[in-house]
A and B are shown apart, each in its own frame.
Chain A
C-alpha cells in the first residue's frame, strides 16, 4: 500500500500548492483563454493568455479560434506581397502525390478544412491568426527538401512550424503562407552515453527528449514552461532560453550540429557530433535563433550534461537590489559550479502570487526583494556542506534578511512555484504588458522603478477601476541579466501603451541592452529591431537572408 499513501500525501500537497507545471515565463497552452474581436491593436509587448472580455473579466471558456482577429487586421502595415503565387489545386495535387499519406496534407484549398486548419493558423495565446489554406506535415528531410524546392520554384511562401508555442507570432502565417509542420519528424536517432551527445529530429517534443535522457541519467540543457508541446527544432530555431541557461549555457554552445533544408531544396548536412570543429564559418549558428527565415532545421545534434542527483533550493528575502547583487556575487563565489539557478522576484510579484493562490508566503516578514537559488551537483554531502557555509555567510553578513532551505522534494517544488506561478497570477486582473529584456545586471531593476514612476506620474496606476494599470512588477533570470518587466492592467489602454513604447525600448537601447532576451522577434518586435541592432548589423543580416533565401519565401513578414 506504499503507493497509495504516497499518492494521498502528494494529492494533499497538490491541492495546497497548485504548482505551475513548469519553470518558465511562458505558459503551457492549456489555460482557459478568451480573446474577443474588440480588443485593441496589441502593442509589441508580449501579451498574456488571460485576455479580458468586454466586462474586463477573464473568466469563461476559451474563445473559438475562429473568433481570433487576423494578424493582418491587427497589423495593417503588413501587406501581402504580390510576388508570391496564390495556392491552387495544381499545387495541392503535387504535395499530395509527394507526401502520399492522407494525414500529411491538410487541404483547405479544394475543400473546406477550416476546422482542422485553424489550429495551425493561430497561436496558443489566441493573439495571431493567419489565412493559410494548406498545411504540410513531411516525415523526412527529403520530403522537406522536395517541398521547399517546389515552393521556391513556384514562388510559394512558407512558414516552418514546430509546437507553435512561441510568444511573438513567429510560427504562424500572416497571410496564405503554407505551414510546414514538423510534428511527424519525431525520432530520436542516437544517444552516446559516453559523450552525452544526442541526435534527434526537429519535431521531437522537448519533454519527450528530456524524459528519454532522464532514463539515461542525462538532462536536456533547456527547460521551459511549454515543454509538453514545444519541439526541439523550434527551440533551436528560436534559440529558446529558459531556466537551465545559467548552468548549461545557450544553444549556441550546446548544439553541435544541425541538418537544415535551404529554400532551394539543398540539404545542409552539418550534423556534426564533434565538440570541437574549427573548420571555417560555423554556418549552423545562423539557424540558431534565425526563426526559420533562411531554412528549416530538420535534425539537431546536441550535447547533454549528466543529470544532477543532488538538488537543493533556498529562498531568500533581501532588503534592497544592492543586496540582491551582493548575494549573487557570493553565490557565484561560494557555490560556483553547483549553482544552477539564481532567480529574482520583487515583493510585488510575491504578494500577487500570495493574493491569487491564497498560499501562505514562505517567509514571515516582508522584504522588498526575494531570490530563489538552486544548486545541483553529484554529491549531496559536498553540496550540502557548501550550501550551508554559503547560507551561514550571507545570514551573518546580513546580505540576506531571512531565508529558508527546502527540506524535501515537495518543498523544492513549492518554492519553485513562487517563481513559476508569477506568470499565471499576473493575468488574474486582466491583461498584461510583458517585456523580455536583457539589461546590464547593475541597472536591471532600475527599469522597473522608473517605469512605475513614469506610469504613476501619468496617473495611470491605482487600486480602483478608474486606473488602467494595476502595478508594475519585475522578475527574471537574474543570473542571465534577463528581466521580465510586466505591467498587469485591468484593460488595454492606448495611453498606457503610449507611455510605455517606445520609452522602454529607448531605455534599453541607452544601456546597450536587448529588446528581446529569449522570446525572439517574430511579428511583434519587427519594428523595434533597430533598438538593439545597428543599421550596419541589420544590413548584414539582410545580406545573409538574401543570400540563402533570394526569393524571400521563408517565413515572410516577420522580423527580417
Chain B
C-alpha cells in the first residue's frame, strides 16, 4: 500500500458539556464567553490517524503514515484546537481564518477541503461524521462527491489490508463491512476509539510545530451562502412540579389533570 498522507479537518465548537443558549435576537446560539473545544467527533479522527501511524511500531506490514495534517476553517481562536490536535499527534496545522459571522456552510467547507486535499496531496481524509453545533452531517459526503472518491461513513473500526481499507460501520441491528481503495474519505463514529489526553511534553512540542495561516482568498473560493437562518428557538421549558401534602392531595391533583 502506498504511504498515507492523512488530512484531518477539525472544528472549534461549543464544549459539549456546556448547555447552549439561544441569543436574544433568536438568530443563533450564544457563543460569546462560552467554553469552546474541539468537536468530539474530530477528536476521534485525530486519535484514529495517530493510531494508524502507531500501528507501524507493532506491525511491519502496516501502512506508513507520511504526514498527518490538521485543518480548521474558523475564527482566530481555532488555533487552540489545532494546537490540541498537534499535541495529540498531528504533524502540522493549517488554519484558514473565517470570522464567525462569515461561517461556512457544509458545501463551502467541502469545496475548501477539496482544494486543501489537492494542495497537500492527501490520499485519506478522516472527518468527524458531524459537528455537534450545526449537526449537518454533510461535509464528508459532499467532499467525497467533489473529489469523486469512495467514502465510508460512520466508521467504528478501520483496518488496513494490502491494497484496501476495510471499514466497519454500525447499522440498525448489526454491522456493515465496507472495503475500498485509497484515496478515500472516512467519517468517524463514537465507538471508533477513545481519544488520548494531550500530555505536557507533547503540548510543548506542539507549540513548535508548523501552523500555516491562510485566508479564503488564498484559495480563490466562492463560498456564497445558500441558506438563511430564519429563527432559532429553545425547546419549550419543562413545567415545574407541584408539591402535594398527602396521598389524597396527590389523587385529587391527578384527577384534576385528567391523569386518573
Contacts and interface: CB of A to CB of B under 8 A. Distances in A.
B16 A9 contact: yes
Interface size class of A (residues with CB under 8 A): 35 or more
Interface in B224-241: 235
B51 interface: no
Contact of A402 (B37, B40, B130, B200): B200
Interface string B197-220: 111110110000000000000000
Given A1-B135, A2-B133, A9-B132, A16 B194 contact: yes
B135 A360 contact: no
Interface residues of B, number: 32
Nearest to A403: B200
A559 B74 CA distance: 62
Contact of B84 (A362, A400, A407): A407
Given A1-B135, A9-B40, A409-B35, A404 B199 contact: yes
A248 B58 CA distance: 50
B16 A102 contact: no
Contact of A362 (B17, B40, B197): B197
A8 B44 CA distance: 14
A500 B151 CA distance: 65
A421 B217 CA distance: 51
Interface in A365-397: 380, 391-392, 395
Instruction: Kindly name the residue among A360, A400, A405 whose own CB sees the greatest number of chain B CB atoms within 10 A.
Output: A405
B162 interface: no
B124 to A, nearest CB: 24
Contacts of A413: 17
Nearest to A388: B203
B202 to A, nearest CB: 9
B134 A2 contact: yes
B107 interface: no
Interface string B144-162: 0000000000000000000
Given A16-B194, A102-B246, A404-B197, A6 B204 contact: no
B132 to A, nearest CB: 5
A76 B36 CA distance: 59
B15 A395 contact: no
B190 A8 contact: yes
B33 interface: yes
Nearest to A311: B35
Interface in B159-208: 190-191, 194, 197-201, 203-204
Contacts of A103: 245-246
Given A8-B190, A12-B190, A408 B15 contact: yes
A406 interface: yes
A195 interface: no
Contacts of B199: 363-364, 402-404
Interface string B82-97: 0010010000000000
Contact of B198 (A4, A400, A405): A405
Contacts of B190: 8-9, 12
Contact of B20 (A2, A101, A400, A403): A2
A194 interface: no
Interface string A321-351: 0000000000000000000000000000000
Given A402-B199, A407-B37, A2 B18 contact: no
Contacts of B20: 2
A5 interface: yes
B198 A395 contact: no
B17 A410 contact: yes
Nearest to A415: B197
Secondary structure at chain A's binding surface: helix, strand, loop or mixed? Answer: helix
A395 B200 contact: yes
Contact of B135 (A2, A309, A400): A2
Instruction: Kindly name the residue among B17, B29, B87, B197 whose own CB sees the greatest number of chain A CB atoms within 10 A.
Output: B197
B110 interface: no
A314 B194 CA distance: 19
A3 interface: yes
Nearest to A407: B84
A407 B245 contact: no
A187 to B, nearest CB: 14
Nearest to B87: A407
A25 to B, nearest CB: 24
A154 interface: no
A392 B132 CA distance: 32
Contacts of A12: 190-191
B127 interface: no
B143 interface: no
Contact of B16 (A10, A362, A380, A402): A10
B170 to A, nearest CB: 12
A285 interface: no
B38 interface: yes
Contacts of A403: 199-200
A406 B200 CA distance: 10
A411 interface: yes
Contact of A408 (B17, B194, B201): B17
A230 to B, nearest CB: 21
B194 A410 contact: no
B17 A10 contact: yes
Nearest to B41: A9
Nearest to B40: A9
Contacts of A392: 204
Contacts of A4: 135
A103 B16 CA distance: 43
Contacts of A9: 16, 40-41, 132, 190
Contacts of A363: 199
A413 B18 CA distance: 12
Contacts of B203: 391, 405
Contacts of B135: 1-2, 4-5
Nearest to A310: B35
Instruction: Kindly name the residue among B17, B35, B190 whose own CB sees the greatest number of chain A CB atoms within 10 A.
Output: B17
Contacts of B41: 9
Nearest to B15: A409
Contacts of B194: 16, 360
B132 A6 contact: yes
A410 B235 contact: no
Contacts of B29: 2
Contacts of A364: 199
A411 B197 contact: yes
Given A103-B245, A402-B201, A409 B134 contact: no
A403 B204 CA distance: 11
Name the 4 nearest CB pairs between A and B, nearest first: A409-B17, A408-B37, A404-B197, A403-B200
Interface of A: 1-6, 8-10, 12, 16, 101-103, 309, 314-315, 360, 362-364, 380, 391-392, 395, 400, 402-411, 413
Given A9-B132, A314-B200, 18 more contacts: A1-B135, A6-B132, A9-B16, A9-B41, A10-B16, A12-B190, A309-B35, A360-B194, A380-B35, A391-B204, A392-B204, A395-B201, A402-B199, A405-B200, A409-B17, A409-B37, A410-B17, A410-B40
23 contacts: A2-B20, A2-B135, A4-B135, A6-B16, A8-B190, A9-B16, A9-B190, A102-B246, A314-B200, A360-B194, A362-B197, A395-B200, A400-B200, A405-B197, A405-B203, A407-B197, A407-B198, A408-B16, A408-B38, A409-B16, A409-B17, A410-B15, A410-B40
